[in-house]
Structure 1
Amino acid sequence: MQGSANLNIMIKAARKAGRSLVKDFREVENLQVSRKGAGDFVSRADLAAEHILREELLGARPTYGYLGEETGEVKGEDPTRRWIVDPLDGTTNYLHGMPHWAVSIALEHKGQIVSAVVFDPAKDEMFFAEKGAGCWLNDQKRLRVSGRHQIVDSVFATGVPWGTKRTLPATIRDLSRLMPECAGVRRWGAASLDLAYVAAGRYEGYWEREMHSWDFAAGMLLVSEAGGMVGPIREGRDPLEDGEILVANPDVYDRFAKIIREV
């Protein structure tokens, strides 16, 4: 796929940050780590990766805004465009030596996500999409969501709340209703990769509550450009503003949404 200039900037930045993360991952037991809250960690690797991403993205597009997990928001001269970045999605996996984590970059234009990159450096999988141009893996394979038609044959992913998050009872309720009807639910601890896996047809759907926009901004575009359906858990809300998201392939979306939205 021939991407736009902005997409090429994003891919280059993700690869550069990924190289830094891989280098630190090889010596993960020696990383300096601090705790932001219960179950919420930040390491030297997160901060180094975000420094790289800010330099690359704002260096190439200095008028754009920037929102990053570790360093917060920078207002840009251009109020219509903003980078939304998670330099290391899956920090807990990373710090425990589990190779399931990603760099996530989205470009927002007038409130809509128009370009997205989710890079898994450990597996060298680069998922990317642009609005209206489809979703791709490693510049070779155009992705489509799964073609499974029945909930009973479907595998879903979610995140289980930790620390002080208040949505654990709702997630347990979701699981108690969904698991008897489906083929399984996975909890891998990296929302951007869960969404990328829905786009790639590896999962049929994904849902999660109490998130930040950098957790899923890129992933939601991957899913929609791969032919999936993206919506809020509470109908009528904007996922990016509400911090809740529900996605699935079109064949199981309605039934899946009904199960998760049931009060």
Structure 2
Amino acid sequence: MPIIDGDTDAQLAVAAALAGAAVVRDLYGKRLARHEKSAGDFATTADLAAERAVVDLLRGARPQDAVTGEEGGSTGAADAHRRWLVDPLCGTLNYAVHTMLVGVNVALREGTAITAAATADPFSGEVFWTDGVRARVRRDGTDEELTPSAGSALVDVNLDPPFPSAPGFRAVRLLGEPGFTERFRPRVISSTLAVAWVAAGRRAAYVTDGDLRDSVHFAAGIALCRAAGCTVTGLYGEPVLTGSGGLVAAADAGTHAALLELIRSTG
């Protein structure tokens, strides 16, 4: 949809995420060049093209805002009050081996708060979005409220390195805890699309290690979970996005408390 000055930041986040998703969908299955970034990490032509589509839309609509993209880095003042965080293709390895478990993440940070965010699924056509107050999913032009639920007992755990909290915390040890398998069932989709699924009631929780400050990967999903009413903290209950404490996003307080207890027991 066209973006004009009167559109809200949330509408812009949705449009930008959908623009990136359209590129990802169109290039799926094609022979794509790989651009090596570090050991075991790479981008594809689709990552770069999707980021260009997202960033071009954001800059056209909000030329004064700063932008940080996973592939293109940061533009604008380092201390900008308004900064867009863009992950154009979360799940690049999935995508490169023709697995349709990916997301496009767009979030706006104003000061220390994420005030608008969207995560688009290129293949289902869904886009999960929030204006910082409500959390909804748009399907075929219709919006529905997101409703978290722990009923599935499915917990998505990020097993991708690096593991900055080791040896105190290693996700693989969490999966080996008897208390985990008694209550939960692990899932690993290797895309932060799964964080949006917590807000939508399709996962009971999501757990990851890592420093999430200004994270292009996690900012959108965390905002969705918060707006949906999930319980969201770092690995040990500390405020999320304040350091290298990782993330526990749970559908409800009981699930969150159980996971924190299990995490502490692995240390």
**Fold match, TM over 0.5?**
yes
Distance 2:38 2:182 in 1: 35
Map residues 179-198 of structure 1 onto 2, 5 A cutoff. 179-191=180-192, 193-198=193-198
For 2:17, what is the secondary structure of its paired residue?
helix
Check 1:258–1:200 CA distance in 2 against 1; reply closer, same or farther (3 A cut): same
Q: Which residue of 2 aligns with 1:171?
A: 171
Distance 2:15 2:133 in 1: 21
Q: Which residue of 2 aligns with 1:207?
A: 207
Sequence identity (%):
29
- For structure 1, the residue ranges without an aligned partner over 5 or more in a row are none
Deviation at 1:147, TM superposition (A): 5.0
2:150–2:203 CA contact under 8 A, matched in 1: no
2:15 to 8, 12, 16: 12
Which residue identity lines up with residue 144 of structure 2 in the other structure? K
Deviation at 1:4, TM superposition (A): 5.9
Check 1:130–1:198 CA distance in 2 against 1; reply closer, same or farther (3 A cut): same
Deviation at 1:222, TM superposition (A): 0.9
Which residue identity lines up with residue 94 of structure 1 in the other structure? Y
Deviations 1:91-112 (A, max 9, x none): 0000000011111001111111
**Larger relative helix fraction:** 1
Deviation at 1:168, TM superposition (A): 7.0
For 1:23, what is the secondary structure of its paired residue?
helix
Q: Which residue of 1 aligns with 2:49?
A: 48
Deviations 1:43-101 (A, max 9, x none): 11111111111111111111111111111111249821110110000000000000111
2:150–2:255 CA contact under 8 A, matched in 1: no
Q: Which residue of 1 aligns with 2:261?
A: 258
Check 1:93–1:77 CA distance in 2 against 1; reply closer, same or farther (3 A cut): closer
Distance 1:5 1:77 in 2: 24
Check 1:211–1:190 CA distance in 2 against 1; reply closer, same or farther (3 A cut): farther
Distance 1:240 1:93 in 2: 29
2:107–2:220 CA contact under 8 A, matched in 1: yes
Which residue identity lines up with residue 82 of structure 1 in the other structure? R
Check 1:187–1:176 CA distance in 2 against 1; reply closer, same or farther (3 A cut): same
Q: What TM-score, normalized to structure 1?
A: 0.88
For 1:132, what is the secondary structure of its paired residue?
coil
Check 1:10–1:99 CA distance in 2 against 1; reply closer, same or farther (3 A cut): same
Deviation at 1:14, TM superposition (A): 1.6
Q: Which residue of 2 aligns with 1:103?
A: 104
Distance 1:120 1:205 in 2: 19
Distance 1:14 1:254 in 2: 33
Distance 1:62 1:183 in 2: 46
For 2:173, what is the secondary structure of its paired residue?
helix
Distance 2:222 2:198 in 1: 10
1:249 to 248, 251, 267: 251
Distance 2:209 2:79 in 1: 31
Check 1:6–1:94 CA distance in 2 against 1; reply closer, same or farther (3 A cut): same
Which residue identity lines up with residue 230 of structure 2 in the other structure? G
Which residue identity lines up with residue 22 of structure 2 in the other structure? R
Moved over 4 A (4+): 164-169
Map residues 1-80 of structure 1 onto 2, 5 A cutoff. 5-27=8-30, 30-76=31-77, 79-80=80-81
2:17–2:120 CA contact under 8 A, matched in 1: yes
Which residue identity lines up with residue 62 of structure 1 in the other structure? P
Deviations 1:9-54 (A, max 9, x none): 1222222221111111131xx1011221222111111111111111
Q: What TM-score, normalized to structure 2?
A: 0.87
Which residue identity lines up with residue 99 of structure 2 in the other structure? M
Which residue identity lines up with residue 156 of structure 1 in the other structure? V
Distance 1:239 1:77 in 2: 18
1:63–1:78 CA contact under 8 A, matched in 2: no
Q: Which residue of 2 aligns with 1:223?
A: 225
Deviation at 1:214, TM superposition (A): 1.0
